[in-house]
Structure 1
Amino acid sequence: MTYEAETPKEYIEQLPKERQEAIQKLRTVIKNNLPKGFEEGILYKMIGYFVPLSKYPNGYHCQPGTPLHFINIASQKNSVNLYHSGIYSNPALLNWFVAEYPKHCKRKLDMGKSCIRFKKMEEIPFDLIGELCSKITVDEWIKIYENALKK
């Protein structure tokens, strides 16, 4: 599902009522735990958290002039999704998350490369998501990204 919004608030207002609370809570958890330097906005028609061009002028190499994305949250047809690029890029972080997930949620982890899908809003492990968001600083993310580009 795609939503046309210019701000996170506009994005959330367009969601079905049953999704608004979960997305707003995810947004709050991310903002409260993300290290300083990341910015929030709409990126790829989702709520995004990214390295601003003022900090990293090179931006995302596939789309020059676009900030370097890090985390996105979106309401999709069958789930609320959290896209965390750090999990995709950092095997140690992925292993930590996969090991921690069962301690926070009874439901089996539903995950793609960087996408964590939540089909039951009441089962989103907000504390775990907060901890995940705190694990990579802006400078660390830029370094991980640049190292990946060199390969």
Structure 2
Amino acid sequence: MSEGGDSAALLDTLAAALPPERAEALRAAYALVRSTMPAGYEESVSGRMICWSVPLALYPKTYNKQPLMFVALATTKGHNALHFPLLYMSPAHDAAFRAAYAQAGQKLDMGKGCVRFVSAEGLNEAAITNAIRPVGVEDFLAAYERARSGSSSQA
């Protein structure tokens, strides 16, 4: 993982514009994702998102010629968001993520792969850690290739 100089600056900028509870939650999510990220992903800024992606040097054949995003952190007018493309590419990962929230008795505010939260209490550390830590670059690329090919045996 590369150093997050630009992302740390963006984090400060985003947090400064938020109410204290949301700023705290944004910082907590950043720290959790950063501490959990497996080796091989690159931390960068894309627009107003902090992204952890597969570097183009490792996988240049992306659909948009941009690094393949594994996780992104953003904030919108009404909430913070963690984006997990793997959750909509892999039914198994999605089910495990949702089950972790259910087991903890936590409300999950989620779209296809976007987890919305306004406070640190809205983050399920176990679910987020389990969605990130065991997924090395090779595993993520395999899931991406399966999803792009339309394979029904998505892991």
With normalisation by structure 2, the TM-score equals 0.82
Superposed displacement of residue 86, structure 1: 0.9
**1:55 lines up with 2:58 in the alignment:** yes
- Whole-angstrom distance in 1 between the partners of 2:121 and 2:9: 23
Superposed displacement of residue 20, structure 1: 3.0
Q: Are the aligned partners of 2:97 and 2:128 in contact in 1 as well (CA < 8 Å)?
A: no
In the other structure, the counterpart of 1:21 is 24
Return the letter of the residue paired with 2:45: I
- Whole-angstrom distance in 2 between the partners of 1:40 and 1:24: 15
Percent identity at matched positions?
29
In the other structure, the counterpart of 1:32 is 35
In the other structure, the counterpart of 1:127 is 126
Superimposed CA distance per residue, residues 38-71 of structure 1 (whole angstroms, 9 cap, x where no aligned partner): 111112430101000111122x31x12x101111
Return the letter of the residue paired with 1:101: Y
Change (3 A) 1:48 1:105: farther
- Whole-angstrom distance in 1 between the partners of 2:32 and 2:95: 21
Return the letter of the residue paired with 1:121: A
In the other structure, the counterpart of 1:3 is none
**1:10 lines up with 2:9 in the alignment:** yes
Superposed displacement of residue 102, structure 1: 2.4
2:110 match: secondary structure: coil
Which aligned pairs between 1:89-108 and structure 2 lie closer than 5 A? 89-106=89-106, 108=107
2:31 match: secondary structure: helix
Tell me the matched-pair count. Answer: 142
- Structure 2, unmatched stretches of 5+, are 151-155
- Structure 1, unmatched stretches of 5+, are 1-5
In the other structure, the counterpart of 2:146 is 147
**1:73 lines up with 2:73 in the alignment:** yes
1:37 match: secondary structure: coil
Return the letter of the residue paired with 1:22: A
RMSD (CA atoms):
1.8
**1:41 lines up with 2:60 in the alignment:** no
- Whole-angstrom distance in 1 between the partners of 2:7 and 2:104: 27
Q: Are the aligned partners of 1:110 and 1:116 in contact in 2 as well (CA < 8 Å)?
A: yes
Q: Are the aligned partners of 1:105 and 1:123 in contact in 2 as well (CA < 8 Å)?
A: no
- Whole-angstrom distance in 1 between the partners of 2:38 and 2:82: 17
1:7 match: secondary structure: helix
Q: Are the aligned partners of 2:108 and 2:122 in contact in 1 as well (CA < 8 Å)?
A: no
Change (3 A) 1:26 1:127: same
Change (3 A) 1:41 1:99: same
